[in-house]
Structures are given as C-alpha cells and as structure tokens.
C-alpha cells in the first residue's frame, strides 16, 4: 500500500466503497441518521477510514441529536487538520485527517464541556476499533 498522502485517485477508488470515496475524497456528506456510527456508543477508538490513524476515543463521543457521530475532542490535536469551508452558502470549519487528507466532517462551537466543541463526523470517514 502506498503512502496515503501520495495515493492516486484510482487507488482510492479501488480501496473505498463509492459512498466512502464520495465522503472521504470528494468532501461529501452522508445523510443524517444513516451512517453506521451515529447511534453507536461502544468502547473503542475511531480510526480514519482511509489510513487507520486513531482520531477519536469513544469516551469523547456523545449524542448531539444531529444524526452524525459527534465528539467533543479528537484523540490528539495533531491528528486533525482544519480548513475554512464556505460551501453551500455556510461558514464552517472543515476537519480532515492530517495524515492522509481524508474529509471527516466539520467542527462547531456548540458542544459540551470541557471543550465546548462538536466534531460532527461522517460515519463513512471512520471505523471503530473495539478493545
């Protein structure tokens, strides 16, 4: 397997399902309340679907009522890359996996303590590794 930062679009298309490719590589969004993890609260580590980087721990996941997996903090600040997103007439902060550039979702300033943040993440961008 090649370095995730240098993988071609053809390689990504071969490795990911069509929905995963659309979300992860084309910055798509899955419909709310449809992803595999929006209502899952099992112990484990949520990893990047594209490269396996550990991104979020289950103890930071909470039910935000939005229909997507929501976390109040990443596993480590260094694993997440942020970018301004003005698509769809909105002003948002996109979050991506720093290791491979996978689009994860967005972060909003309306989450619970201790951070006050809500990392709203597409299920198609992550996979749960159970202990």
Which helix (H) or strand (E) element contains residue 10? helix 9-15
Which helix (H) or strand (E) element contains residue 25? helix 18-26
How large a percentage of the chain has pLDDT more than 90? 82
24 is catalytic: no
The first and second tokens of residue 9, run together, are 């679009």
The first and second tokens of residue 64, run together, are 């935000």
User: Is residue 90 very low, low, confident or very high in pLDDT (cuts 50, 70, 90)?
Assistant: low
Mean per-residue pLDDT for 83-88? 71
Q: Which of 48, 51, 102, 120 is catalytic?
A: 120
Q: With contact defined as beta carbons under 8 Å apart, do 128 and 49 qualify? A: no
């Amino acid at each position: 397997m090649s370095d995730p930062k240098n993988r071609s679009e053809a390689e990504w298309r071969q490795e990911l399902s069509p929905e995963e490719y659309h979300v992860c590589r084309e910055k798509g969004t899955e419909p709310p309340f449809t992803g595999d993890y929006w209502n899952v609260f099992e112990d484990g580590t949520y990893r990047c679907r594209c490269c396996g980087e550990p991104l979020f721990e289950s103890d930071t996941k909470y039910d935000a009522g939005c229909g997507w997996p929501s976390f109040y903090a990443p596993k480590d600040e260094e694993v997440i890359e942020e970018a301004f997103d003005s698509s769809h007439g909105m002003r948002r902060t996109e979050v991506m996996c720093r290791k491979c550039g996978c689009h994860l979702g967005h972060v909003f300033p309306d989450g619970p303590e201790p951070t006050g943040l809500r990392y709203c993440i597409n299920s198609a961008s992550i996979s749960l590794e159970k202990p």
